[in-house]
Chain A
């Protein structure tokens, strides 16, 4: 049933629709959850007219990687609080990871996440199911039933599937259902106790390291399995120069392989951990300048498909533990767009259109959903951005319950003014 939607006219904005190679000043009219008209100086009657002069109007952003902690860890985040944070960050669709308590490893959990997402009525909530039961890496989960319940892909995120035989079976089996198989690449046999990149700083701090090879070896292994199975494969949060090379090669070979990069792996290095600040503890760990340069080059070359936040809220009391014991994760979906701007546009790595491509139609393609573009007839998921508005990240003001944000206090540029989902204003900047 369609809601009694308003007709909304967004006037005079710079319309950037990367999928359709549009980057020009245009008016856009939304009604009945869809884009109705695009043109200059539209005069159709509307219930609401937004003046977007000097602003960017783009397809709503899509985040392939969030942790909304529900079910089970509602004190850290709920689908409601996470969804509110998402629209504040300009995200009209997000993909929840299945490493909840219990994990999303069967159809009822998938339905539960969807239901909570609908109730929150903010962003569109997708969920990936676990590849293996209990995310234990041993037995295949009911991927077929979860697909029928609407799971958008599969991953054991939080850890990788260690056993090669299990992964091969999972990929073969998953190929029946056409969903993407995603992997958190980490070979646990290399540094299973690691808490930061196995570099010089880990040595000085006396903290067990995570070898970049742990990521690269599993990624390389999986690519070989893709060759064998032909399944669509997505490498989550790649973080090393070696991983970039492996992805680059896989794409040269024309394999159905995609990948994502987080803001923290573009902006922060292991050098941030000098004082054991657990807000910088994240998995995959912060790497080195060289790795950042390699990821940037990959973005410039179009090798990276998606920018994903890996938004991972934790309680303050958990993050106040010893670095060894504190949980991994960074909460930052609300400032992600500004961070991407800082990492990619301010440095000249790419322009708004290229950047928005990795936040709209390209992640939609990873999921194989018809989203991320703004042609007439497309779903009216829209974000209006003030590209140059300066603001200070204040984690205390997040809609998210997570305060574990290393960007707290950062001066950034680029602010989300409006987020519309299916033609409805779900977020509006009030300042």
Chain B
């Protein structure tokens, strides 16, 4: 938990980042402010700083990922950490070794920070209970994807300033989206008003109890939005058929050039990637003037540097106090 120091500035004391739901507004802002300090890094000729020198970061990815993994690898190496890449596409259980054993083995090699992506919600939380290293959630099932949400709000703040009062739409498969959950917490904690848009078959149970509005028609809400975040249809996660066809889905929920005409002229268009062009978003929109999709990716690096930096600092502090 973070506490306010006497100067009023918060002190970061979390050695794990599991979800945005755990964080206060002040903590989120603290990460974003820290990230801002790392932002100009990419423009330097020597893109390295020493804070994680001598530390070992392991990327434990039990699910496919390009963007997030590379972003974490780059973030860790820019902070001078040694990075181990661990990939296990099938679940560890099928191989006969449990997640806990795998993590303990890696820890025995002296790992300081475990970055984990896993198809089971709660896997990062499970790790925090059985290893001493810092745990950073890089996406678990459809629970949370905290660094994605942080880079999303970072990007919005960068372009539009404070999120207070902004109207943000999150469109698509909310039920199976960890990004949606983390975004909802991050955006609403920072004062934005979030509307979820998608067919009822892609909404989770009791969605109305989340601090959001819900709409099943994109056309009803698009005119009011300041920011729209188009989620990828995750064909690999869909059970049954929650919508009849891709063309019907994109007719009602796709971000098309036509729909953009009815949106505010400065509405930000976001997407966590990878995009299904022509399904949830038309290419002209993805590559158009409102799109900040590539900027999200650049900002991901600064945000992940900040997260690695902060959890390591908290762990170091904890060790000193002991």
Contact = CB atoms under 8 A, between A and B. Distances in A.
Interface in A202-245: 202-207, 209, 211
Contact of A207 (B121, B206, B209, B210): B121
Interface in B18-52: 21
B121 A324 contact: yes
A200 B126 contact: no
B205 A321 contact: no
B35 to A, nearest CB: 25
Contact of B93 (A193, A198, A202, A321): A321
Contacts of B281: none
Point out which of A193, A202, A325 has the most chain B C-beta atoms below 10 A from its C-beta: A325
Contacts of A199: 205-206
A322 B181 contact: no
Contacts of A275: 125
Interface in B158-216: 178, 181, 204-207, 209-210
B144 A317 contact: no
B118 interface: yes
A192 B239 CA distance: 10
Interface residues of A, number: 22
A323 B120 contact: yes
Contacts of B99: 321-322
A316 to B, nearest CB: 11
Interface residues of B, number: 29
Contacts of A325: 91, 93, 120
Interface in A168-190: none
Contacts of A204: 21, 181, 210
A276 B125 contact: yes
Contact of B121 (A192, A198, A320, A323): A323
A317 B96 CA distance: 12
A209 B239 CA distance: 13
B239 A276 contact: no
B65 interface: no
A179 B290 CA distance: 70
Contact of B143 (A193, A205, A209, A317): A205
Nearest to B140: A206
A194 to B, nearest CB: 10
B122 A205 contact: yes
B100 interface: yes
Interface string A34-69: 000000000000000000000000000000000000
Given A200-B205, A203-B204, A205-B121, A324 B141 contact: yes
Contacts of A198: 205
B122 A207 contact: yes
B142 interface: yes
A275 B18 CA distance: 11
A206 B181 contact: yes
Contacts of B142: 206
B123 interface: yes
Contacts of A205: 121-122, 143
A275 B100 CA distance: 16
Contacts of B206: 199-200, 203
A40 B100 CA distance: 61
A200 B212 CA distance: 13
Nearest to A210: B205
Contact of A202 (B119, B140, B205): B205
B211 to A, nearest CB: 11
A276 B178 CA distance: 16
A322 B205 contact: no
B204 A324 contact: no
A219 to B, nearest CB: 20
B98 interface: yes
Nearest to B118: A322
Contacts of A323: 120-122, 126
Nearest to A192: B239
Contacts of B120: 322-325
Contact of A276 (B126, B130, B207, B209): B126
Contacts of A206: 121-122, 140-144, 178, 181
A322 B123 contact: yes
Contacts of A202: 204-205
Contacts of A192: 239
Contacts of B140: 206
Contacts of B123: 322
A290 to B, nearest CB: 13
Interface of B: 21, 91, 93, 98-100, 118-123, 125-126, 130, 140-144, 178, 181, 204-207, 209-210, 239
Given A206-B178, A276-B126, 16 more contacts: A200-B206, A202-B205, A203-B181, A203-B206, A203-B209, A203-B210, A205-B121, A205-B122, A207-B141, A320-B98, A320-B130, A322-B120, A322-B123, A323-B120, A324-B121, A325-B93
**10 closest residue pairs by CB, A with B:** A206-B143, A276-B122, A322-B120, A206-B121, A206-B142, A203-B204, A200-B206, A324-B120, A198-B205, A323-B122
